[in-house]
Structure 1
Amino acid sequence: MSKQNFLVEETNRSVRIDKLLAELNEEASRSQVQSWIKDGFVKVNGETVKSNYKCQPDDQIEWEIPEPKELEIEPENIPLDIVYEDQDLIVVNKPKGMVVHPSHGHQSGTLVHALLYHCDDLSGINGVHRPGIVHRIDKDTSGLLVVAKNDQSHERLSDMLANKEIKRQYEAIVHGAISHEKGTIDAPIGRDQNDRQKMAIVQDGKPAVTHFVVKEVFDRFSHVYCELETGRTHQIRVHFRYIDHPLVGDPKYGQRKTLDVSGQALHSRKISFQHPTTDETLTFEVDAPEIFQEALETVKRMS
């Protein structure tokens, strides 16, 4: 159980307490915060309140964050496309539609369930429900992920990721004909103030930079390669929405009228980094899945 104290300032006058606390803790959804308030984990000036309480300047909020209940994960015999493996790490080509790690909405069929069946020596730094997971890609994004098999490798890979030493290249199909050959999107990303389940470009968000090269341009679509300088949640999806070229098929940030590709047309195609133990430079590349290739053929025919 961790405790936090927060003094309400004038800028948060009349803001609902559940909204304010959800903004303060990016890992918590508004519904989670509401359940904590209902269970008495939140007090204002020493008194319990309801979720719709309107905060006032100088309110003293005491907030106890309960420890998350650990999920019991049973290994599952799910086929994996292993691109590379040694005693320190695994590079896997994650299929479209697979969630990376368990959560309360996805308690089976994840990449972690499959990895635990494949091997029992994953790093424990991220706890029992994210063993070995150094970085993530969205459920409907396919492609390359690096998984650590011990804590030493995990720490080194995490440091490289933080220091921008792991190079990741994605490919995407976006709406609209992009008129230039390449570009950089530099816009901070944070929680959408109107929808906690989405990210958005916000002034006080975390720095986010995406570089892109236009590979092909069609009448109403473009095929792009993207390189991440940072790794914010939904970064490519949010950035291309921001420049009015949302990803094809994106259910959160895309257009209502789009191609049916079972989620966003986004693929993690290439990754390059130094081996955490040997310092050898490793580079891996995988083709986009068939549904992505078919979508490319479709937009070509539509041109």
Structure 2
Amino acid sequence: MNLEADVQSKFLPVPDAVVGQRADAAISKMLGISRTQAAEMLEAGEVLRQGASVGKSDRLQATDVIEVLLVEKVSGLEVVAQDVGELKVIFQDDHIVVIDKPSGVVSHPSQGFVGPSVPGVLLARGIQLSTSGAQERQGIVQRLDVGTSGLMVLAKSERAYSVLKQAFRDRNVQKTYHALAQGHPEPLQGTIDTPIARSTKHDYKFTISPDGKPSVTHYKTIEMLPAAALLEIGLETGRTHQIRVHMSHFRHPLVGDPLYGADPKLASALGLDRQWLHAVKLGFQHPISGAELEFESEYPTDLKLALDRLREVTFRF
């Protein structure tokens, strides 16, 4: 491994939702990484405030501007073999592999993220992906946010990669999510059709913009709960942070997502340290045989516990 590196800086104002929180918890939410990964960055001196390293237990203030040092190897981003037991392989053959991704695992290696990646987990298990695409994205035909859990399909053969990429472009893949949103949406079901672009103020966020890419989200209320609603969400497009941005724009941010305006007190009361969002169903034609495939995923433990607590316990927040 080439140890020479380019170091770049990302400057992040502290969002109101994390003011006063410990640095490890705040950085985790600001960057969309696990608290353990945020702590590792802090311990490595990769997070600065006014030029000085920030400690894990330091509290962030509203006036702070945090500098995050991003280290990228000159040789490019590398896939590092690292197994994560919680990641499940649901199906595989010679052409595709379908997985159930846990929160905290990034879809592919990316600048500034030091934790495990989906290709790295599969590499550790001896599962070879297609060589199409950039080195760190080989075999990747779709992505989930690091804090989002659920179903993903990856390509193992070159033909499967080409066909699946086109299927996603043509919107021929059925992607269904369940999300817990703050408040009670009105109407109970509908479509959010607003373009999304990268924020000009914060390069780690996305926002509604007339200059953005077309983005279409369909939602339907499954269950009304105290202070929140469980929604079924279908995507026509697959923009980065699409569900999170659209629901925030709709004034119903996802529970556990302070980056897009959620109440941190509610997340704390439910024991959540990430957005309540899970990819529950994935349907598509097999890229080689043409067979119709559909897969489903159960809620992971943290989301199930939060939902059960909201159903059964009366609390103040």
SS in 1 for 2:282: strand
Residue number in structure 1 paired with 2:80: 74
CA contact (8 A) 1:174 1:221 kept: yes
4+ residue segments displaced more than 6 Å: none
CA contact (8 A) 2:255 2:263 kept: no
Residue number in structure 1 paired with 2:267: 259
Distance 1:206 1:227 in 2: 17
Residue number in structure 1 paired with 2:204: 197
Q: State the Cα distance separating 1:290 from its structure 2 match.
A: 1.2
CA pair 211-72 structure 1, distance change in 2 beyond 3 A: closer
1:302 corresponds to 2:309: no
Q: Quick one: which of 209, 214, 217 aligns to 2:224? A: 217
Q: Which moved more, 1:75-84 or 1:289-298?
A: 75-84
Residue number in structure 2 paired with 1:144: 151
Q: Quick one: which of 94, 97, 107 aligns to 1:100? A: 107
Corresponding letter in the other structure for 1:109? P
RMSD over aligned CA atoms reads: 2.2
CA pair 204-104 structure 1, distance change in 2 beyond 3 A: closer
Corresponding letter in the other structure for 1:135? Q
Q: Larger radius of gyration, structure 1 or 2?
A: 1
Distance 1:220 1:72 in 2: 43
TM-score normalised by the chain length of structure 2? 0.71
What pairs with 1:17-28 in structure 2 (closer than 5 Å)? Answer: none
Corresponding letter in the other structure for 2:84? I
Corresponding letter in the other structure for 1:288? Y
Q: State the Cα distance separating 1:171 from its structure 2 match.
A: 0.3
Q: Quick one: which of 293, 296, 301 aligns to 1:290? A: 301
Q: State the Cα distance separating 1:194 from its structure 2 match.
A: 1.4
Q: Deviation string for 1:132-186 (max 9, x for gaps)? A: 1111000110000001001110110000000000000000001001233311000
SS in 2 for 1:72: coil
Q: State the Cα distance separating 1:108 from its structure 2 match.
A: 4.6
Q: State the Cα distance separating 1:219 from its structure 2 match.
A: 3.2
Corresponding letter in the other structure for 2:204? Q
Q: Quick one: which of 107, 119, 124 aligns to 1:112? A: 119
CA contact (8 A) 1:248 1:254 kept: no
Q: State the Cα distance separating 1:120 from its structure 2 match.
A: 4.6
Corresponding letter in the other structure for 2:302? I
CA pair 240-85 structure 1, distance change in 2 beyond 3 A: same
Corresponding letter in the other structure for 2:79? I
Q: State the Cα distance separating 1:96 from its structure 2 match.
A: 1.2
Residue number in structure 2 paired with 1:175: 182
How many residue pairs get matched? 240
Residue number in structure 1 paired with 2:139: 132
CA contact (8 A) 1:140 1:262 kept: no
CA contact (8 A) 1:180 1:214 kept: no
Corresponding letter in the other structure for 2:212? G
What pairs with 1:154-169 in structure 2 (closer than 5 Å)? Answer: 154-169=161-176
Q: Which moved more, 1:293-302 or 1:282-291?
A: 293-302
Distance 2:216 2:290 in 1: 26
Q: Deviation string for 1:170-215 (max 9, x for gaps)? A: 0000100123331100010001121121100001110000001100
Residue number in structure 2 paired with 1:187: 194
CA pair 120-296 structure 1, distance change in 2 beyond 3 A: closer
Gaps of 5+ in 1: 1-66
Residue number in structure 1 paired with 2:289: 278
CA pair 117-103 structure 1, distance change in 2 beyond 3 A: same
